[in-house]
Structure 1
Amino acid sequence: MNTYHHFFVAGLLTGLSLVYASTALADQMYQPQYQQQPDQQQYQQQYEQQPRERSYGEKIGKKALNGVVNIHTSFLEVPKAIINNTNAEGSNIVFGLVGGAIEGTLNTVARATAGVGDLTLFLLPTKAIVYPQYVWDDFYETNTRYGDIFRLDDDENPPVFELPK
């Protein structure tokens, strides 16, 4: 098999997986959300925001999307670091430009690498490595940080069965 066919097959499988994950979520998005309620209290109880467990499809879809976005927007780490280092207390413009460029370049490589990892292993639903998840979140307030790698994205569910004590 030709080398180009390997890339084509890998890209095709990744694309089909992304399409399948998005179609699995489509029925949840298009269900009717509003019904006539005669009683205001019933209306409030029905539509209070309650945390719901995310499905496997939602988790892997979000992880694949994070990977693609982090790969393509990782270069924005350089201006973010320059701005944040220049505006830091006790800093000056020279340190902001030089230190920010170095820090931004390192964060660019790290965010792109984390994005490649997320996109490659998107079928394994793990927590995000990079905080903030997207480079534009908390752009002026937060510097980019990195967390644990390969921590499963478990919702705190009670166990199905507990052993007697």
Structure 2
Amino acid sequence: MKSTLKPLLILSTLIFFSSEAAVAASYATYGLGVGNKLAHGAANTITGIAEVPKSMLMETNDKGLGYGLTTGLLTGITYGVGRSLAGVADLGTFFIPAKPLVSPGYAWQDYRTQQTRFQPNWK
């Protein structure tokens, strides 16, 4: 019985590690890599507050000062909390391949032209 168990154990070990190697090789091409996801998570956790002036500026430019100071403030607070929570999620799961949760990747990217968007599903 011991002689039939050893080849089975070797075969199952090879199958397990070959699938792990395939996943590790494709991780860099799927979504963010480990280092990038960790950097995005740290930056987004800390700079979520930058969404407040960004949203206020964009709403003021689009619809006027009154709208920017009221709706822009509330939108910025909401987006800031969302960006910070997405950063915490990226920090906690940086070793799992996933698409980014927030677009643009950092709060300061496309600061005047692109409003923050959150992905509908976490893939």
Equivalence for 1:86: 60
User: Whose RCO is larger (CA < 8 A, sep 6+)?
Assistant: 2
Structure 1 segment 35-50 matched on structure 2, within 5 A? none
Counterpart pick for 1:115 among 75, 78, 87: 87
Q: TM-score, normalised by structure 2?
A: 0.73
Q: What are structure 1's unaligned runs of at least 5 residues?
A: 1-52, 152-165
Counterpart pick for 1:101 among 73, 81, 91: 73
Q: Distance in 2 between matches of 1:72 and 1:146?
A: 17
The amino acid that maps onto 1:87 is N
Deviation, 1:54, is 3.1
Q: Distance in 1 between matches of 2:122 and 2:114?
A: 23
Equivalence for 2:105: 133
Q: What are structure 2's unaligned runs of at least 5 residues?
A: 1-26
Structure 1 segment 136-147 matched on structure 2, within 5 A? 136-147=108-119
Deviation, 1:55, is 6.6
| Overall identity of the aligned pairs, in % | 34
Q: Deviations over 1:131-151 (max 9, x none)?
A: 000001100000000114431
Task: State the superposition RMSD in angstroms.
Answer: 1.8
Number of corresponding residues: 96
Q: Distance in 2 between matches of 1:122 and 1:148?
A: 19
Q: Which moved more, 1:92-101 or 1:141-150?
A: 141-150
Q: TM-score, normalised by structure 1?
A: 0.55
Q: Distance in 1 between matches of 2:29 and 2:48?
A: 28
